């Protein structure tokens, strides 16, 4: 059985995002993940973003898993595994009407997305 570790809640918005990080590969701005203790991240998508419409319009909850391929077995996959940044693989599924993002890290997250003060090394 997979262990799910909460990562963030993603909320799509059409508002301009202050101090957002831009992912050129995915054509989206993200803001808030590094700035709040609750794992809330706002997403604003470029007009030519090609992600499935449900990802651009529906809030999602994200979990870290140890084996993304195993976690996807038997699930309704909305977005196949892909790598938005070196060292991380993500995929999206639908569970009923709930949109869920799964993440698998090949190395510690603080190495993938360095940010002072966000990650506690145990």
pLDDT single digits (tens) 73-107: 999 999 999 998 899 999 999 999 999 999 999 99
Distance from C-alpha of 80 to C-alpha of 90, rounded to nearest angstrom: 8
35 three-state secondary structure: coil
41 three-state secondary structure: strand
Domains located in the chain, CATH noted = 5-108 (3.10.180.10)
Question: Could you tell me the pTM of the whole model?
Answer: 0.89
| Length of the chain measured in residues | 122
How much is the pLDDT for 56? 96
């Amino acid at each position: 059985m997979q262990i799910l570790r909460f990562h963030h809640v993603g909320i799509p918005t059409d508002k301009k995002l202050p101090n957002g990080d831009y992912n050129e590969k995915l054509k989206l701005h993200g803001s808030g993940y590094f700035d709040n203790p609750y794992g809330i991240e706002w997403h604003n998508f470029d007009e030519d973003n090609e992600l499935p419409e449900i990802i651009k319009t529906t809030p999602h909850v994200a979990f870290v898993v140890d084996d993304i391929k195993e976690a996807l077995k038997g699930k309704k996959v909305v977005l196949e595994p892909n790598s938005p940044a070196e060292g991380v693989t993500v995929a999206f599924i639908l569970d009923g009407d709930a949109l869920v993002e799964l993440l698998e890290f090949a190395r510690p997250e603080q190495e993938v997305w360095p940010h002072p003060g966000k990650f506690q090394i145990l």
